[in-house]
Amino acid sequence: MRKFCAVFAVLVLCATMPGTAAELSIDRLFDDPALSGKAAQGVRVSPAGDRVTFLRGREDDQFRLDLWQFDLKSGTTRLLVDSKRLVPDEHLSDAEKARRERERTALYHGILDYSWAPDGKRLLFPLGGELYLYDLQADADHAVRQLTHGGGDLIDPKISPRGRYVSFVRGQNLHVIDLRSGKDRALTHDGGGTVHEAEAEFVAQEEFAQSSGYWWAPDDSLIAFKRYDESGVPVARRFEVYADHTEVVEQRYPAAGETNARLKLGLVAPDGKSAPRWIDTGGNADIYLPRLNWLPDGKRLAYQRLSRDQKTLELLQVDAASLKQSTLLTEHSNAWINLNDDLHFLTRQAAFVWASERSGYKHLYLYGLDGKLIRPLTAGAWDIDGVLAVDESANRVYFGSNKDRIEDTQVYTVPLDGDASASGASAPQRISQGDGWHKASFGCSEAQAECRVGLYVDTWSDALDPPQTSVRDADGKLLAWIEQNALDAQHPFAPYRGGLAAPEFGSLPASDGQRLAWRLIKPAHFDPAHRYPVLVYLYGGPGSQLGANRWDARGLFMQYLAQQGYLVFTLDNRGTPRRGRAFSDPIKNRLGAVEVEDQLAGVRWLKQQPWVDAQHVGVFGWSYGGYMTLMLLAKASDQFAAGVAVAPVTDWHIYDTAYTERYLGTPQDNAAGYEDSGVFKWLAGLHSPLLLVHGMADDNVLFSNSTRLMAALQTQGTQFRLMTYPGGKHGLSTPAMQKHVFHTIAGFLDEKLGGVSPASAQH
């Protein structure tokens, strides 16, 4: 871990010792100005590479985002669009609120997304249900042009690759606006009811990270789009309870083992002169279509077809004129296929870059368009996170990985024309600098004929240093700061930083010999002669590594607890990502088994430490972490003094198809696995104090998960504490709810674990 004073040389901070630093409060975590400072979000490099745009929260409202730009030539930063001035009051529909919940952006408002025109002169963004175009060459008073005026909600706006059209989905149909004439034209007409055109279905959005349902050809000639009909999906009637009313929502929700939406792929021209043509996606309609990419020539496209059991993935190539197709490659897994966005078709050779976990780790491979493997590009006992850019002119592939440190992500590069024995595929060149979390944006998009990497934007943070955004050359050398976000005396986090201790990282063995990575936050005044209560803070499920070395708002709550005299311990058990398939796959067919075993191994290790109060160990988790809290208390209450479960899954039968079947198969084929994976089989063992928390309008982990748990606990006579939030979605995504829930959690922990200030910690 870097030394703070050496890196920043900020006298005022280095002189601020823990004894004089201000103490965090729960309210301060969510009050303005944001403790993260002027952190840049949604960073993008312009097509010309001459400027960088980003979103930033306001001084008076950190959750309202405005659009800014940094000019590389002048080194100046300026506000482009003041969202509040343009649209003072936003009124979001229920559909838009639900979409933001699925995209984990429900806490924010203002400008949440934007895109560059290919000419680098204009920016497209939605705001308040309408579309706007910002002209960088116009004077400030005339720079913004409103493209739509009423007509209902619109989603998924895009500028076409050649820049002639703007497209979006409205009323479940695909629309385009010809920017020359300003005319709005619907390209599909049968969307409505259970039929959605150019949209991704619920499970594709929620579980496959497929936020869009249509894709432009590189030459603007065609749009490929997805159509889904959910008429066969069962209707789940659920209640959303608000403060002053209750809504009965009839949602077509495909629970595990039930019918999914039926999918089609179509092609349509933006001039609207011809009806859509349909691609034959095979005789089995019970499939997923989670990815689609156009080849650079605009005459062919490729789509990925995933089997319902998610064990077979096919990459198919389609001729856009004849609709003839062929299979480029097929991936198989005995457990499940993890999808990615790492497919890149090359322009200088008939080949593509593909990511696969067939070796046991996720690595990159170069394939010819004949489907034959040319060479591996990366290799070794480590995973890549994802491709960041492919620069054919420089013969380089850039990607992110935690190769050097499990808790970090860094930026690496390898040659495009190398081979595993001679090019260093097992030893890629690292170009990012400094331990921590590097999120890189290279400014390359599918709209560009070819990507040339002259620079990239690096947003770096670690557990105690808020995000810093810089421009780097292709070798990682600093060119300019977009937002240095230095922790000087004026920074909102500065009064608190000196009173917090950097996390410690380590590992311990699992039962199969693999290493389980852990993170431990201690009070700044830690004294090894004292014994401290411990909170085990966990997630534990697929897709999330919680014990990372990065800035995280919820992580600051853990720092708050450390200031109150707690040790906060996080362990990433088997089943979590970024560690290879041998680490992730043991959860197949049964959840809550090896995950519990690994967490208990961590608890045993904790209780062996002389500075741990073994009688006061608690556990807290949200979503899958809430499920893990319940499973730990149900299977090992003797190990925990208390637990907090927020929005927990309790019965996997009522969670969605795509997620649940990936790990458990269907209830019809794995009835025992579903019973063993649910909470209720083990519930008689739960006798530690429990705080159960759930939003009463949660459309992800349905509130019925908790109502079933309440009834079962009441039937068996088990007392528990309950806090519900009227109108609350899965993330309890308002500042007021966030403050309230963390005050509630902190109060419960203090009561049950005996939280004390570090100075008075007992032997």
Judge whether 119 and 135 are in contact, CB under 8 Å. Answer: no
What does the radius of gyration of the chain's CA atoms come to, in whole angstroms? 26
Assess whether pLDDT exceeds 50 at residue 443.
yes
- Per the annotation, the verdict on 623 as an active-site residue is yes
| Mean pLDDT, range 58-79, rounded to an integer | 92
State the pLDDT confidence band at 11, using cuts at 50, 70 and 90: very low
Task: Work out the pLDDT band at 190, boundaries 50, 70, 90.
Answer: very high
Tell me, what's the pLDDT at 419? Answer: 58
| 3-state SS, residue 448 | coil
Superfamily of domain 516-760: Alpha/Beta hydrolase fold, catalytic domain (3.40.50.1820)
User: Can you read off the two tokens belonging to residue 278?
Assistant: 């349909």
Given a cut of 80, whether residue 3 has pLDDT beyond it is: no
Is the model's pLDDT at 103 over the cut of 80? Answer: no
Mean pLDDT of the chain: 92
The predicted pLDDT at position 450 comes to 66
pLDDT value of position 761: 43
Listed in order, strand segments (DSSP E) in 561-653 are 567-572, 612-622, 642-646
- Please indicate whether residue 698 is annotated as part of the active site: yes
Q: Assign 150 a pLDDT band (cuts: 50, 70, 90).
A: confident
For the chain, give the percent of residues with pLDDT over 70: 94
Distance CA 522, CA 507 (A): 16
Q: What is the arithmetic mean of pLDDT over 329-336?
A: 98
- Res. 8: pLDDT tops 80: no
Chain segment 444-464, per-residue pLDDT in tens: 755 455 677 789 999 999 999
Q: Indicate whether 581 pLDDT > 80.
A: yes
Handedness of CA 544, 411, 3, 506 (dihedral sign): positive
Q: What percent of the chain has pLDDT over 90?
A: 84
The three-state DSSP-derived secondary structure of 686-710 is CCCCEEEEEECCCCCCCCHHHHHHH
Give the pLDDT of residue 421: 53
pLDDT at 347 over 90: yes
Which pLDDT score is estimated for 7?
Answer: 29
pLDDT at residue 733, as a whole number = 84
What pLDDT does residue 153 have? 84
Tell which wins on pLDDT, 422 or 477: 477
**How much is the average pLDDT of 543-547?**
95
528-554 mean pLDDT: 95
Q: At what angle do helices 624-636 and 594-607 cross, to 10 degrees?
A: 70
Distance between CA atoms of 710 and 683, rounded to whole angstroms? 11
Q: Is the pLDDT of residue 94 over 50?
A: yes
Of residues 698, 699, 706, 733, which has the active-site annotation? 698
Annotated catalytic residue, options 461, 623, 706, 733: 623
- Given a cut of 50, whether residue 422 has pLDDT beyond it is no
| Cα 500 from Cα 23, distance rounded (Å) | 9
Q: What is the pLDDT of residue 424?
A: 65
pLDDT band at 426 (very low <50, low <70, confident <90, very high): confident
Instruction: State the pLDDT at residue 335.
Output: 98
pLDDT at 91: 77
Amino acid at the residue 600: L
Active-site annotation holds for 730: yes
pLDDT digits (tens, 9 = 90+) for 246-264: 999 898 999 999 999 999 9
The string over 500-538, giving b where at least 16 C-beta atoms fall within 10 Å of a residue's C-beta and e elsewhere, is bbbbebeeeebeeeeebbbbbbbbbbbeeebbbbbbbbb
Q: Which amino acid is at 516?
A: L
Which of 160, 401, 730, 733 is the catalytic position?
730
Average confidence (pLDDT) over 545-549: 96
Note the Cα 738 to chain centre separation in Å: 19
